[in-house]
Amino acid sequence: MGRQSWHILEEDLTGTALPNDLRVRDPNDAIDCGWVAQMVWALREFSQPGDRVLDPFCGFGSTLVACEEEGRAGFGCDIDPERVAICRERLRRRGVTDPQVVIGDARDLPYPNDLFDLCLTNLPYFGFDSRPQSPTAGDIYASPSFAQYLELLSQACRSLRRVLAPSATVIIMAENIRLRSGVFVPLAWEAARILAQYFELQEERILCYRKPSAPAATSTHTNRSHEYALVARQRQTRVDIETARTTLLDLAGRAPFVVIGSVAVELFAPGKLGRAPRDIDIVVDSNSEHLEQLVLALQRLGFIVTSWGEPVQVPLDANQLQGRFYLRGERLSRSGERLLIDLTYESTISFTTLWTNSRTVCNGISVASMRHVLDLMRLANKDDVPELAARLGIPV
């Protein structure tokens, strides 16, 4: 495929199709089983032999067959036990003695941090009637509404971010769809919006398939013979600490907050972090008036403020925010400089306790105590906490 932005897939790779006796075990005859050829080009372009590749919605295992073809270590997870059983059997027939396929929920992936070099998956489609009447909780296929579907996808992306290596790539195959009722659903575009909340979008590729044309009529419907490969990567953006300081000083006069995370370390002890921060994390009072003042200030500074990918406006909708824990502000300048700031308003951290007993003021900005910052990093399973504690002179 090289660096083309599109690719025409004529047929699947010879000898890689799902065997018929396995196909008929699925209630829908595995009509949503993707081609192996759909995945091979991505493996060749975005991974190296021996890389660990995860498909968190592995289904019938086409991604893992592609990994076996291309010499990658394929790992699969799916919430449907029967599909996992079919996937394992498919791989065993291809000589894979110990298929790395597990039953699991993509919202809580059963893998350690930073394990995978690439995530490559075909997104489950909204409105596809492939599940029993009482599906497993978290089954994205069975989402009764598009909003719930996107919510599950967002939760899966959050879990995925944890298990991917810092330099990892994410490729999600997704297609805008038309429901049986005829309603058009921009699934691929919404998936890209969700993906951008957790990763840096890099590119898209368009995959085209040979299908008969739709009948000529006054309808706008087509044969829907293309899909998108959405390409993203773990966030590489780094925060310029002076830009962060200026932004925080501007916010400080609007409402109370306390800076935590890596920016707090840089503000308190410049140079001790040993790396540039990726974003700004602050804890804010759950008082709606204070939160709204910060949202308005961020918007005036050119930030788009969202809650799990959904834009928010003042006055804030308490029902929309409940149980979502944080807001995200993102600003992209004309020069391409990106700045992210997360405002945590629901947390195990008591804001009152933090503000009263566990903060210091650094040049006009309230910063959590370094002991508190380290404790939070430890809870987030950050690997460099012991080294950072030593540089700060704080006993672990």
Any bridge partners for residue 151, and if so which?
none
CATH number among 3.20.20.70, 3.30.70.100, 3.40.50.150, 3.30.390.50, domain 6-233 = 3.40.50.150
Tell me if 232 sits within 8 A of 200, measured CB to CB: yes
**Residue 242 pLDDT greater than 60, yes or no:** yes
Q: Which of 34-48, 342-356, 361-375 has the lowest mean pLDDT?
A: 342-356
Angle between helices 261-268 and 241-252 (to 10 degrees): 100
Q: What's the CATH architecture for 241-392?
A: Roll (3.10)
For range 370-384, the mean pLDDT: 81
For range 259-288, the mean pLDDT: 89
**Residue 363 pLDDT greater than 70, yes or no:** yes
Phi-psi region of 207 (alpha: psi -120 to 50; beta: other; left: phi over 0): beta
For range 54-60, the mean pLDDT: 97
**Which tokens go with 320?**
């929309």
Please give the model's pTM, rounded to 2 decimal places.
0.80
Look at residue 213 in the predicted model and tell me its pLDDT: 66
Q: Where are the domains of the chain?
A: 6-233, 241-392
Look at residue 127 in the predicted model and tell me its pLDDT: 86
| Residue 83 CB contacts under 8 Å (≥ 6 apart), including other chains | 26, 58, 59, 60
| Residue 240 CB contacts under 8 Å (≥ 6 apart), including other chains | 276, 337
pLDDT in tens, 64-107: 999 999 999 999 999 999 999 999 999 999 999 999 999 999 99
DSSP 133-177: SSPPTT-GGG-SSHHHHHHHHHHHHHHHHHHEEEEEEEEEEE--E
CA distance 79 to 77: 7
For range 150-169, the mean pLDDT: 93
